[in-house]
Amino acid sequence: MPVEITEVVIQVSVDNATGGGAASPPAPADDRQALVAECVERVLEVLRQRQEP
């Protein structure tokens, strides 16, 4: 008698505490601040260019 599979359920549990992953560590606060400042400057520059006649 043949068996027909109509549904497959896959469950995954991810836990960073166990290690073994290749995830990069979070950026230090100084680097994050510098990145945010650079993004703000670029956005403001684009807005200034749009306002010029």
What is the per-residue pLDDT across 11-41, written as a single tens digit (0 to 9) for each? 887 776 655 556 666 667 778 888 889 999 9
pLDDT at 5 over 80: no
Whether pTM > 0.85 for this model: the answer is: no
d(CA 2, CA 7): 16
Query: Is 53 exposed, middle or buried, given 0-12, 13-18 or 19+ CB atoms closer than 10 A?
Result: exposed
Give the per-residue pLDDT at 13: 78
Give the per-residue pLDDT at 7: 83
Give the per-residue pLDDT at 19: 56
SS3 (DSSP) at 52: coil
